[in-house]
Amino acid sequence: MIESPARFGKYEVCALLGQGAMGQVYLCHDPVIDRQVAVKILHPHILADRHADEMRNRFRREARAAARCQHPNIVTVYDVGDHEGRDYIVMEYVQGEELRFFLERGERLGDAERLYIVREVLEALGFAHARGVVHRDVKPANIILTDEGGVKVADFGVARIDRSDLTQAGSLMGTPTYMAPEGLRGEPVGPSGDLYSVGMVLFELVTGRRPAPEHIHSGRVGE
């Protein structure tokens, strides 16, 4: 178990909010402007991996991609840096719940609520696509229903900025259950791939079930 640090740079750590494949997310306090922020920190073990440079570049690319997308439906990025060899990204702290938890409880939404969520997600993606940014990992875990009744898209962790050569053909980036077939085959994914993923999310919102395994198999993962 990784012990939580007392601070990262000027940011004072308050609590661990969660962790994923690439890093941990902490609730922190910015003492300079006196506000709560979410700080995502790259896992230490990633830096020891033989692909450490690629992972670090991907982490920094997340910050650059999100920073280009200042929109009410996108989690805002405030800062990026490193502290004692560990990279971090400072984001807006959003009070709310991931859509995935709502779905896991088996709760159902009315048609108007479903359409509202999808419309807000599409607003966020349309804004990002117009700036050359593709999310590549749209899924319920990256859609936050805020306490104020809003919707925000989070985690551009595998986002691809147009003309970037860091993502190569043949690499699988994203979550297979919601991924477009071209992404499953390791081919480049454009804005249409994000729209496909939104369709998969809508399918789950309407039926209460995740997309069937046949969707994944049709992408011929591993071939």
Catalytic residues: 137
**Cα distances (angstroms) measured from residue 202 to each of 79, 117, 121, 193:** 32, 9, 11, 14
Contacts of 6 (CB under 8 A, 6+ apart): 12, 13
Strands of 96-98's sheet, edge to edge? 96-98, 143-146, 151-153
CA dihedral (103, 198, 95, 68) in degrees, to 10, reads 160
